[in-house]
Amino acid sequence: MNKRLILYILGWVLICEGAAMQICTVTSIIFRENEGLYFLITGAVCALLGVLAVKVKKPKNMVLYQKAGFCATALSWILLSFVGALPFFLSGEIPNYVDALFETVSGFTTTGATILVEVENLSHGMLMWRSLMNWLGGMGVIVFLLALIPKLGGQQNIYLMRAESPGPIVGKAVPKMRHYALLLYGIYFGLTLLECILLLCGGMGFFDAVNTSFATAGTGGFGIHNSNIAAYEGYYFQTVIAVFMLLFGTNFSFYILLIGKKFGQAFKMEELWWYFGTVVVFTTIIGFNIMSLYPNTYDAFHQSFFYVSSIITTTGFGIGDVNHWPMLSKSLIIVITFTGAMAGSTGGGFKFSRILLLVKEVKKEFYLLVHPRNIRSVKMDGKKISHETMRSTSVFLVIYLAVFIISFALVSIEGKGFVTSFTSVAATLNNTGPGLGDVGPVGNYAMFTPLTKCVLMFDMLAGRLELFPLLLLFIPAAWKKS
């Protein structure tokens, strides 16, 4: 494997992270907090090491193969987390390094699970760092670097993209990787800005608006108040946030098609209809189911819509406890925890396109039982889906279940009760954040032992990178030269 090239990519990742930390330094300076120092130092050391890795050991051979691309991406994310945890730890605002790491992994993977009981105790710089991690992790740091640095990963940089971007089929909408990455980040930035402006128009404070927009955009779910989004009272704020969560959970190809004025093709996306269809149906069912719990119908549906939107996009914002909801509603919430958002979005989960493909495959299997000699291919959006894609989707399901079951077993060693154990794994593997029970929207992950936290951190990274890149690191053959 081309270790020098991996080191080179990691170097750029460090530089990028060091630069991002300076935004938090500035935030700290504005709010006259001393914690900015920790960002300044960590960021500077990062950037220095990064520059060393990039300049001193410049790889001779810039050819990137799939294996190295996947490993580079997975290692980048691990490195990001370890380094990103330092400001929390050094400043003593999160005294335990495992806790700090958990918070960072949760931030970058856009999970939004927190170990903080009192979020408001953090300084502004730290709050900014949490939200910024959500934002960078949403579209991906590697994609950001691909937009920024020409020739990162050479001609084969598609392998880097494929490792980081979610969905069963990752392709480019424009020929040049750099243009594509710029396009994605352009849309991402534009939508974030739009949300921020809308929140400001409603009268939200600037710091709150920026942080909330960052956390929504990455479908992360880190709030800066103890009561999360419930702190922003009134339908306007919560509805704006709920709508934007849905928008960020939409496949970005959809926006690219809209920009290219290919409306017919855009609205023909099967996944889009299934995604929004599910939102409508689930909101309605849960709305009726919880109607008796709230003073009026509108309020019930508002709660239902916000929560469905928050969970299906795997953002994990909360506007109140849901543990007292009826069983039907809670189980529906668990169902959409697993489905997740659309492929090619900033959301996590199993992804609608994969479910669609599997449903079609099942249908085909039954059809074959009726007509054994029938030849038919699986199609999506009118295009034939290749056998390899079908195969890797099925394998994805198997690994996904295996990771889930093993993690569940490991977490249950603590004996926290079925609902808490089950949903904590589901909420981290799908990058949602809050589950039910002790880890519900008003709870947190502080009470778990370090072992459980490590398992859940692994789940978050595995979920964000969609299993394969992270698991590849554990395959000995990946590290062999021949």
Partner 1 sequence: MKIVIVGCGKVGTSIASELNLAGHNIVVIDINRAAVTRLSDSIDGMGIEGNGATYETLSEAGAGDADLVIAVTARDEVNLYTCLMARTCGCPNTIARVRNPEYTNDLFRVKDILGLSMFINPELTAAVEISRLLRFSGALEIDSFSKGMFELIKVGVPKNSPLVDRAISRIDILRGKVRICTVERDNEVYIPNGEFVIRAGDRISIASKPEIAAKFFKKAELNIARSRDVMILGGGKISYYLAQRLLKAGVNVKIIEKNAQRCEELSEMLHDAVIIHGDCMDQDLLLSEGVEHTDGVAALMDYDEENILISMYIKNISKAKAITKVNNAHFDSIIDQIDLECVINPKKIAGEYIARYVRAVQNSLGSNVETLYRLHEDRVEALEFRAKSGSRVLNKPLAELSLKDDLQIICIARKGRIILPVGSDMILPDDSVVIITKHKGLSDLNDILR
**Residue ranges binding partner 1 (CB under 8 A):** 155-159, 171-177, 179, 386
Query: Nearer Cβ to partner 1, position 155 or 374?
Result: 155
Nearer to partner 1, 19 or 170 (CB): 170
Identity of the residue, 60 or 371, whose beta carbon is nearer to partner 1 in the bound complex = 60
- The CB-of-97 to partner 1 minimum distance in angstroms stands at 40
Q: How far is the CB of 76 from partner 1 (least distance, A)?
A: 20
Q: Do the Cβ atoms of 125 and 35 come closer than 8 Å?
A: yes
Q: How far is the CB of 65 from partner 1 (least distance, A)?
A: 10
Tell me, letter by letter, the H, E, C secondary structure of the chain.
Answer: CCHHHHHHHHHHHHHHHHHHHHHHHHHHHHCCCCCHHHHHHHHHHHHHHHHHHHHHCCCCCCCCCHHHHHHHHHHHHHHHHHHHCHHHHHHCCCCCHHHHHHHHHHHHCCCCCCCCCCHHHCCHHHHHHHHHHHHHHHHCHHHHHHHHCCCCCHHHCHHHHHHHCCCCCCCCCCCCHHHHHHHHHHHHHHHHHHHHHHHHHCCCCHHHHHHHHHHHHCCCCCCCCCCHHHHCCCHHHHHHHHHHHHHHCCCHHHHHHHHCCCHHHHHCCHHHHHHHHHHHHHHHHHHHHCHHHCCCHHHHHHHHHHHHHHHHCCCCCCCCCCCCCCHHHHHHHHHHHHHCCCCCCCCCCCCHHHHHHHHHHHHHHHHHHHCCCCCCCCEECCEECCHHHHHHHHHHHHHHHHHHHHHHHHHHHHCCCHHHHHHHHHHHHCCCCCCCHHHCCCCCCCCCCHHHHHHHHHHHHHHHCCCHHHHHCCCHHHHCCC
Least separation in angstroms between CB 387 and partner 1: 10
- Closer to partner 1 by Cβ: residue 161 or 425: 161
Rank residues 165 and 431 by Cβ distance to partner 1 and give the closer one.
165
Write down the least CB distance from residue 138 to partner 1, Å.
Answer: 24
Nearer Cβ to partner 1, position 173 or 243?
A: 173
- Residue closer to partner 1 by CB (options 58, 324) is 58
How near is the Cβ of 386 to partner 1 at its closest, in Å? 6
Q: Smallest gap, in angstroms, from Cβ of residue 71 to partner 1?
A: 17
Minimum gap (Å) between residue 177 Cβ and partner 1: 5
The nearer residue to partner 1, 178 or 225, going by C-beta atoms, is 178
Q: How far is the CB of 351 from partner 1 (least distance, A)?
A: 21
- The smaller minimum CB distance to partner 1, of residues 152 and 242, is found at 152
